[in-house]
Amino acid sequence: MKKSKIDDFKVKDKKLNYLKSTNSIAKYFNFSNLNTTFKKEIIGGISTFLSMMYILSVEPAILGSAPSITGNGTMDSNGVFLATALVAAIATIVMGMSANVPIALAPSMGLNALFAFNIAKTGKIGYEGALIAAMISSIIFCIISITKLRALMINALPHSLHLIIGVSIGFFIAYVGISNIGFVSKTDSNLPIADLSNFKLNYPGMIIGSIVLFGSIILFYKKFFAPVAVMMVGGFIVALILANTVDNEAIKHSLGNAKWSGSEWNFGHLFNGFALNIKNSLAEIGNSEIWNKPTMYVSIFVLVILNFFDATGTLTSINIELNKALGEEKQIPQKALIIDAGATIIGSALGVSHMACYSESCVGISQGARTGFANIITGLLFLLSIPLFPLFKMMPNCISGAATAFIGTIMISSITEIEWKKPEIGVSAFFSILFMVITYNIANGIAVGIIAYTVTSIGVGKTKEVKPVIWALDVLFILYFVATAFIQ
């Protein structure tokens, strides 16, 4: 009897210690005031991960095409995968622990395309130069976030210009996705051109990609959580079956990387690629071919501007959704702004493009996430994805392209909020979208859009409404185009 009582006491003591520990966690994340529970936070964290896990396939696919400044190959996609998972996990967990907000971070869609296609490839400074530019620009952006400069620039631009930039990037990302599905022909350097692709070779990818894309859209509007993840998994299973059972040229062309291979589970490739990307970038820091090109300095400037607008717009939109869920008005925590800006410093050091807060965090919020504890769950799932990297590597471009196109369609939803009846806004939006798509360059679209805003404002007699910061940007963007003329 005494032994039984002692055992009962030990069980009760363990339960008490457990409750104390959980209560400590709940207290740290302020569960009671934010009206949340562990169940809600866990479900919310899982939902956020499922809705943004596509980046684990998309980021390596995009950065894996970025050439080296040495001319020897491209960035190692295995290394990019590991870096993406690690940095997303670290940044997301730090955001949750420090700022106590359910806002997850990962490499930015849009800026990764600029990194690979425009800076590394077209700009001819390689992925090494692009990572250096990302590092420098992120340090500058971090300084801007700490000081009042960020608030100054936010107030200088009309709200519609913020919307225009987001919508334009949405069109650009959708175009990247559509081309990866297989609808558009590409040049030898893998850049899309204004022509339809070879349907005989691409039809399997086009069909599967289209189903994944439109299935994601339908599920999204049906309020189904993680629509992209669900459709990507479904599409991947179909691709996996076809690639391993059907011996067909079109299947091999569209779905070839879904072919099963035991060697894919060699984790040595993963860690070797990760180390190689960092080693090569460090080795090229003193390369004069990087520092002698105007592209380097223009890229730093453009990345600061783009990161600023991307981060500020996304954080604002997530904060609005969070406030709706909480039923109160709260400002974005200053810690969140600094972590958001500082994440890219870590990211570029480990071998990924600019980091950003993800609007997919709203999915987690809709499923109950209210605190940073949801971020802990999301971050741990990113870490868990590392042992499963071969499955992500086998994801065909048509499926990751469908996910990219879906995000583009969601980003352009705010197009109705643009003040089209105001000539200076409408003209700016038109040229920003047009130039971003036809030149396949985000920076060009933003530059032409802001210049068009100023010119049209002068034309309609609203010169006084153009703030000094806009004039300064006009001058800098004109210098940008002049510099571009010397690197073409």
Which residue would you say has higher pLDDT here, 487 or 366?
Answer: 366
Q: What is the mean pLDDT of residues 361-389?
A: 89
| Confidence (pLDDT) at 155 | 66
Only one residue has tokens 């850049």, namely 191
Q: Looking at the predicted structure, is the pLDDT value of residue 394 above 90?
A: no
**Backbone dihedral region for residue 71 (phi beyond 0: left; psi -120 to 50: alpha; all else: beta):** left
| Confidence (pLDDT) at 462 | 92
| Confidence (pLDDT) at 136 | 93
Q: Looking at the predicted structure, is the pLDDT value of residue 226 above 80?
A: no
Highest mean pLDDT among 15-19, 185-189, 331-335, 429-433: 429-433
CA dihedral 217, 222, 227, 228 (to 10 degrees): 10
Which residue would you say has higher pLDDT here, 187 or 195?
Answer: 195
Q: What is the mean pLDDT of residues 141-151?
A: 78
Confidence of residue 16 (pLDDT cuts 50, 70, 90): very low
Whole-prediction pTM = 0.74
| Confidence (pLDDT) at 3 | 55
Q: From CA 30, how far away is CA 1, in angstroms rounded?
A: 42
Which residue would you say has higher pLDDT here, 292 or 87?
Answer: 87
User: Whole-number mean pLDDT of the chain?
Assistant: 83
| Confidence (pLDDT) at 8 | 56
Q: What is the mean pLDDT of residues 446-460?
A: 93
Q: What is the mean pLDDT of residues 315-323?
A: 79
| Confidence (pLDDT) at 196 | 76
Q: Looking at the predicted structure, is the pLDDT value of residue 271 above 80?
A: yes
Lowest mean pLDDT among 4-8, 113-117, 236-240, 456-460: 4-8
Tokens of 22: 């959980």
Tokens of 280: 């090569």
202: CB partners within 8 A, 6+ apart: 182, 183, 250, 253, 254
Q: What is the mean pLDDT of residues 319-336?
A: 81
Confidence of residue 182 (pLDDT cuts 50, 70, 90): confident
| Confidence (pLDDT) at 484 | 63
Q: How far is CA 248 from the centre of its chain?
A: 34
Q: From CA 426, how far away is CA 449, in angstroms rounded?
A: 10
| Confidence (pLDDT) at 20 | 45
| Confidence (pLDDT) at 75 | 93
Which residue would you say has higher pLDDT here, 467 or 307?
Answer: 467
| Confidence (pLDDT) at 135 | 92
Q: From CA 423, how far away is CA 404, in angstroms rounded?
A: 31
The percent of residues above 90 in pLDDT, for the chain, comes to 27
